[in-house]
Structure 1
Amino acid sequence: MRVFFVVAGVSLFTAATASPSFHNLLKSPVDLVRRQQACAGNTAADRQTWCENSINTDYHNVVPDTGVIREYWLDLKEATVSPDGLSRPAITFNGTIPGPTLFADWGDTMIVHVKNSLDRKGTSVHWHGLRMNYTNQEDGVASITQCATTPGDTYTYKFRLTQYGTTWYHSHFSLQAWDGAFGGIVINGPASANYEEDKGVFILADWFHQPPTSLFSQAQTRGPPRAPTGLVNGTNVFPGEQNGTARGSRFQTSFRTGGSYLLRLINVAMDTHWKFSIDNHTLTVVAMDLVPIKAYQTNVLSIGIAQRYDVIVTADKANIASDFWLRAVPQQSCSAISNGNDIRGIIHYGESTGTPNTKSYHFVDECVDEEARSLSPVVAKDVGSTPFLRTVQEVTLGRNARNLFRWYVNGSTMEVQWGDPTLNRVVSNDMSWNRPQNVIQLDETNQWAYVIIQSRLALPHPIHLHGHDFHVLAQGSGTVRDNTTLNLRNPPRRDTAMLPAGGHLVMAWETDNPGAWLMHCHIGWHTVQGLALQFVERFSEIKPLVNTTLIQDSCGRWNAFAAANNITVDDSGI
């Protein structure tokens, strides 16, 4: 067995069978990346091969047996940061925004020790999009799969990486994720098109100059505030000067003329739908979320909140310029950023260090997914036409008994407790769900569930499901009707998809993963205002999978801490 230790984003390799390749993929703060050599056969001329597997291997049923453990230590702590030149307190992993990128290979086991160094705040950490197959307790959702981790405690997560591609980790406790508690995850594997160099994660975030917790009162009473700016990999400029110099700095990276590069795009925003582009360049899209797709080309890519896309860019425009703008443009039809026209980075060719004067592509301002016909998974999977469950969930907005804005699903806003997680109820054989827990039980084994989410409000929602890649059977305006066409033949398959404004989203998945799985809108304000459901899947099979000692001990510590410090839940609890 090979074991890889990583502390604060710097990897320490021991007992490796091959010498690691050392190179910087990104500028600070996502820096000093050390990783093993690519799997045998995976070369710039053949990215479809991965050791004895390939891009056509059904990763849902086949996982490489690497015998490798990747071990990381993350310290969640408060820090003063100035990603755009303006200082503010934030919540960070290991003191940086983003936190360290976690690297592994398809089939590795990852162990992550998360220390809660916050003052008087609980936490949990979610590994976004990872199926956590038969390991529901590792999903990292306070109030659902664990109690909140008590300040001073370290909670250890251990899980097998059965998928590959690009994703991210973030706090799943109140508004911490959008206060800076996020970082990228890269799981190396095959790709559906060739490239020469992996440039790593490109994390796109909106950014407030105050902690979101201080803005929550406004969100609850008058509506969400407007973010002043956004960041590309934790940095950007902001208008004005500080001490006589421009504030902040732009993200910059270099391409070799003629080279081809893999960019791993992640939208970690609180409330912003991006359109991403690089002036004059074509993007070849090869993956959505953690699902490899048949490569297609576009100039501008629509990225919903919490979604990821892997794209390949070829540096073939030296005849036009040596420096190009990389753009993340907030879509004003659902997002509002004061400095929205200046969320940019720079692509340099070779040794050039100039400021670009290139022009943006034209596009329609809209908050929608890429066209379904473009998002064709390489590993084809059809959907059964006779679901055991077909449920319609209507999204509405209203005010609760305290006259605060809350989001409702079929008339119920989620309210769960940091000290009484769903898994704790399961191990106690307690099925007396309260309505605000918004539980739907899925007791059938390996059967199809269809879930229809729809809204009459003129606002789109990025819907994220834990524990599964769901199939997108339909998306469109209006409500679902009997004659609505459902795409059952290899439809797009992902973990986050857009519910269109005033429209519907039809999702389907097989009940093949026992656990308590959250589904929620990934707009940060909406998450904490209750726009969520949870699916308790195959109840009778969950308890044997749970470490009851761990959940009872950690819940005991949290509840004692909460009682001693008079801490209560003031939002949805997730």
Structure 2
Amino acid sequence: MFNLARLTQAAILAGAIFQKVQAYAVVGFPSAAPRANAGWSGNSAGAISNDPAKRPGIAPGGYSPLGDTHTPQLPHFLTNNPLPQGKPWGTKNASNTNYYENPPTTNVTRTYDFTITKGVIAPDGVSVTGLLINGQFPGPTIEANWGDWIQVTVHNNIPDEGTALHWHGFLQKGTQYYDGVPGTTMCPTAPGSSFTYTFKADLYGTSWYHAHYSSQYASGMIAPIVIHGPQTVPYDIDIGPVMIGDWYHSYYTEGVDQVMKPIPNWKNPLSNNNLINGRNNYDCSLTNLPCTPNAGTAAFKFTSGKSHRIRFINPSASAIEKISIDGHVMQVIANDFVPIQPYNTTVITLGVGQRTDVIVYASNSPTDSFWMRAFIPGNCSPTDGKGNYVQAAIFHEQADLAKQPVSSAQPGWNNNICANDDLSLTVPYYPISAGNPDTTETIVAGMQSNGTHLLWYQNDRTFRTNYNDPLLLEAKLGNLKFNDLANVHNYGTNRSLRFIVENHSGQPHPMHLHGHNMFILASGVGRWDGTVVNPDNPQRRDVHIMPIGGYIVVQWNQDNPGIWAFHCHIAWHVSQGMVWNVLEQPQSILDKVDVPSASQTCREWAAWTGQHVVDQIDSGL
């Protein structure tokens, strides 16, 4: 409904913000980030083209080439750039290079052009409103070599919403303003506007990009990223990204409405299905929405006698995923962007935002076929119980594609443990000791009432963003006094920081830190007893699951000036304020951090909000 009072208030705020962004423009500097393009446009050998007309293997009813038997295998690295010592990264490898301090520089920029649209999609046969990137769900895969620059121009064609894309897991050293968190590092990209992000592929492995504007990504704004880098374990074939996540038969705003209803009407959104690379079937008798049966499931090709790298990604709004392949052991070689000493398992557990790379050795029979399976345990993540299971077929080269596999599931694969593997198993390939922190902070996380609504609090503080006034830009102007709802914590010049995070709730929380990989020192149920697992070389990653009624202990080096969100990656929990912002090295923000383009989005956003009401009922992230 039209609201004159809200519109007038928005116009007044926009006018004030417009004056402020003129100041932001003054403190900007020319960017040194872009490098020579080398003529590459995202469609090198083995990669997926950004041009929809060139995308192979999109099945009828499908929205992405991922998960189709015709999907091209990925190369070990992209070859259309200089290859010193035969590889883009030269002699650097996982044994001799600290990638946080000394990544390679290839002087190549990989360019992408994305258009965001809203439309009706039916990835499992049920028609719902969704958000697409270049008409795809999941969106186009970004590929680059370790040390490349990545440049992405995003056109917001959503008619009534702002947007922003976050490049999950990248450090953004020197490019903090391109982290893609509206209200923190930038203003949203307004409807009808465009924005170009440029950042370095400083880490390598598997990741993803997603919307970070409210809970938009729950309606389809997700896609994989593959950064090719040195191998720690040889393999023959790169199957590519396998995104396994929950799906909702409603637009994301309905989920936000549910968690933001006043007490006692608040409720957790329940996922309706589980998808592999955006595909699964659904029983149409279970819904009143338009539904087409047998929408189709994902399928993959193996070659008998060969080893295959699979890049598992969990892009869920809420779900913890259990993943297994019938009759096969998976050799784990990386968690998030961190290569690890390999170990074997038959089930992978991924919280929201986590990635695990595995190698699977195919049998020698060319006619074999078997199932890949994924399951959302109901005690870990809220589902309606009707669609928490998904499977995809894996066919060897001579298998009959018209016949479903008849393989049997691994014993105990669908367990209900809401936690990652024991930290004693996950030892980084390149050893780094966490050392003793300069500062330790205990953060108690739980849900409580603010008088009318249930919100997530950390140490009695919750969070709400201001899209028109990004925190990083305020810090760049020297303004370090933030209101309580910004939930910013200034750690000054501390060189390292340790958080002991206690979960005083009945739900697990995949905790994610922007701008860093965290040392995961400990995780468990109850209270931490002070024991650090693998103290000389603890697990590092950018997301870790905090167990129900338990804790995680994380630490990182304060070597990246900026304001970085530390938050639960469950979309609905972020909407309810589960964000703790770390202000890191504020003097270095003034002296060294460049914000050359951030003011552009703020000018355009101020102009748009001067004429439109932004119906922000949640935290905004």
Q: TM-score, normalised by structure 2?
A: 0.84
Please name the residue that 1:393 is paired with. 443
**Paired amino acid for 2:198:** K
Give, in angstroms, the shift of residue 331 of structure 1.
1.7
Distance 1:53 1:92 in 2: 37
- Counterpart among 349, 354, 360 of residue 409 in structure 2: 360
> Do the aligned partners of 2:78 and 2:144 also contact (CA within 8 Å) in 1?
no
Give, in angstroms, the shift of residue 555 of structure 1.
1.2
Please name the residue that 1:74 is paired with. 114
Please name the residue that 2:579 is paired with. 532
Matches within 5 A, 1:270-281: 270-281=317-328
Please name the residue that 2:421 is paired with. 370
Distance 1:449 1:294 in 2: 26
Give, in angstroms, the shift of residue 400 of structure 1.
2.6
> Do the aligned partners of 1:84 and 1:237 also contact (CA within 8 Å) in 2?
yes
Matches within 5 A, 1:293-308: 293-308=340-355
Give, in angstroms, the shift of residue 485 of structure 1.
4.5
**Paired amino acid for 1:366:** I
> Do the aligned partners of 1:39 and 1:50 also contact (CA within 8 Å) in 2?
no
Distance 2:330 2:76 in 1: 26
Distance 1:23 1:282 in 2: 32
Give, in angstroms, the shift of residue 58 of structure 1.
2.1
- Secondary structure in structure 1 of the residue aligned to 2:501: strand
- Counterpart among 562, 570, 593 of residue 515 in structure 1: 562
Distance 1:173 1:373 in 2: 36
- Secondary structure in structure 2 of the residue aligned to 1:520: strand
- Secondary structure in structure 2 of the residue aligned to 1:411: coil
> Do the aligned partners of 1:48 and 1:191 also contact (CA within 8 Å) in 2?
no
- Counterpart among 212, 219, 235 of residue 259 in structure 2: 219
- Counterpart among 189, 213, 219 of residue 173 in structure 1: 213
Give, in angstroms, the shift of residue 215 of structure 1.
2.9
Distance 2:114 2:427 in 1: 36
Q: TM-score, normalised by structure 1?
A: 0.91
- Secondary structure in structure 1 of the residue aligned to 2:293: strand
Distance 2:275 2:603 in 1: 39
Distance 1:457 1:61 in 2: 37
Please name the residue that 1:65 is paired with. 105
Please name the residue that 1:478 is paired with. 526
Please name the residue that 1:433 is paired with. 482
Residues 441-460 of structure 1 show CA distances to partners (whole Å, capped at 9, x for unaligned) of: 12225x22111110222211
**Paired amino acid for 1:400:** N
Please name the residue that 1:122 is paired with. 162
Distance 2:278 2:576 in 1: 27
Please name the residue that 1:558 is paired with. 605
- Secondary structure in structure 2 of the residue aligned to 1:507: strand
Residues 492-539 of structure 1 show CA distances to partners (whole Å, capped at 9, x for unaligned) of: 000000111111111000111111111100011001110011111111
> Do the aligned partners of 2:446 and 2:458 also contact (CA within 8 Å) in 1?
yes
Does residue 588 of structure 2 align to residue 541 of structure 1? Answer: yes
Unaligned runs of 5+ in 1: 13-21, 41-46
- Secondary structure in structure 2 of the residue aligned to 1:150: coil
Compared with structure 1, are the counterparts of its residues 6 and 157 closer, same or farther at alpha carbon in structure 2 (3 Å cutoff)? Answer: same
Please name the residue that 1:53 is paired with. 92
- RMSD, aligned α-carbons: 2.6
Compared with structure 1, are the counterparts of its residues 553 and 327 closer, same or farther at alpha carbon in structure 2 (3 Å cutoff)? Answer: same
Give, in angstroms, the shift of residue 4 of structure 1.
1.3
Residues 12-38 of structure 1 show CA distances to partners (whole Å, capped at 9, x for unaligned) of: 9xxxxxxxxx99799761357697773
Does residue 506 of structure 2 align to residue 455 of structure 1? Answer: no
Stretch moving more, 49-58 or 534-543: 49-58
Give, in angstroms, the shift of residue 384 of structure 1.
1.3
Query: What is the total number of aligned residue pairs between the two structures?
Result: 554
Please name the residue that 1:249 is paired with. 296
Distance 1:230 1:454 in 2: 29
Distance 1:371 1:25 in 2: 39
Compared with structure 1, are the counterparts of its residues 153 and 323 closer, same or farther at alpha carbon in structure 2 (3 Å cutoff)? Answer: same
Unaligned runs of 5+ in 2: 1-35, 80-85
Distance 2:533 2:302 in 1: 43
Give, in angstroms, the shift of residue 332 of structure 1.
2.1
- Counterpart among 446, 453, 461 of residue 412 in structure 1: 461
> Do the aligned partners of 1:6 and 1:73 also contact (CA within 8 Å) in 2?
no
Compared with structure 1, are the counterparts of its residues 9 and 528 closer, same or farther at alpha carbon in structure 2 (3 Å cutoff)? Answer: farther
Distance 1:450 1:25 in 2: 47
Distance 1:59 1:518 in 2: 22
Please name the residue that 1:231 is paired with. 275
Does residue 365 of structure 2 align to residue 330 of structure 1? Answer: no
- Counterpart among 500, 504, 515 of residue 467 in structure 1: 515
Of all paired residues, the percent bearing the same amino acid is 31
Does residue 546 of structure 2 align to residue 499 of structure 1? Answer: yes
Does residue 343 of structure 2 align to residue 285 of structure 1? Answer: no
- Secondary structure in structure 2 of the residue aligned to 1:75: strand
Please name the residue that 1:207 is paired with. 247
Distance 1:415 1:229 in 2: 30
Distance 1:81 1:240 in 2: 15
Residues 377-433 of structure 1 show CA distances to partners (whole Å, capped at 9, x for unaligned) of: 000000112x221101110102234x2221111111101201111012112211111
> Do the aligned partners of 1:121 and 1:151 also contact (CA within 8 Å) in 2?
yes
Stretch moving more, 108-117 or 309-318: 309-318
Give, in angstroms, the shift of residue 49 of structure 1.
11
Residues 196-217 of structure 1 show CA distances to partners (whole Å, capped at 9, x for unaligned) of: 1111100011111111212322
- Secondary structure in structure 2 of the residue aligned to 1:144: coil
Does residue 473 of structure 2 align to residue 424 of structure 1? Answer: yes
Residues 83-137 of structure 1 show CA distances to partners (whole Å, capped at 9, x for unaligned) of: 1111111011111110000000000000000111111211111000011112211
Does residue 488 of structure 2 align to residue 444 of structure 1? Answer: no
Distance 1:191 1:448 in 2: 30
Please name the residue that 1:158 is paired with. 198
Compared with structure 1, are the counterparts of its residues 470 and 549 closer, same or farther at alpha carbon in structure 2 (3 Å cutoff)? Answer: closer
Distance 1:23 1:6 in 2: 12
Distance 2:319 2:291 in 1: 31
Please name the residue that 1:5 is paired with. 41
Compared with structure 1, are the counterparts of its residues 23 and 490 closer, same or farther at alpha carbon in structure 2 (3 Å cutoff)? Answer: farther
> Do the aligned partners of 2:274 and 2:388 also contact (CA within 8 Å) in 1?
no
> Do the aligned partners of 2:113 and 2:153 also contact (CA within 8 Å) in 1?
yes
**Paired amino acid for 2:484:** R
Distance 1:350 1:26 in 2: 20
Distance 2:376 2:277 in 1: 16
Please name the residue that 1:30 is paired with. 65
Residues 357-376 of structure 1 show CA distances to partners (whole Å, capped at 9, x for unaligned) of: 21111223111011111111
Distance 1:537 1:255 in 2: 46
Distance 1:244 1:200 in 2: 30
Please name the residue that 2:7 is paired with. none
- Counterpart among 186, 197, 210 of residue 146 in structure 1: 186
Give, in angstroms, the shift of residue 232 of structure 1.
0.4
Stretch moving more, 140-149 or 429-438: 429-438
Please name the residue that 1:182 is paired with. 222
Stretch moving more, 101-110 or 129-138: 129-138
- Counterpart among 309, 312, 318 of residue 262 in structure 1: 309
> Do the aligned partners of 1:474 and 1:487 also contact (CA within 8 Å) in 2?
no
Greater fraction strand: 1
Compared with structure 1, are the counterparts of its residues 37 and 492 closer, same or farther at alpha carbon in structure 2 (3 Å cutoff)? Answer: closer
- Counterpart among 97, 103, 110 of residue 137 in structure 2: 97
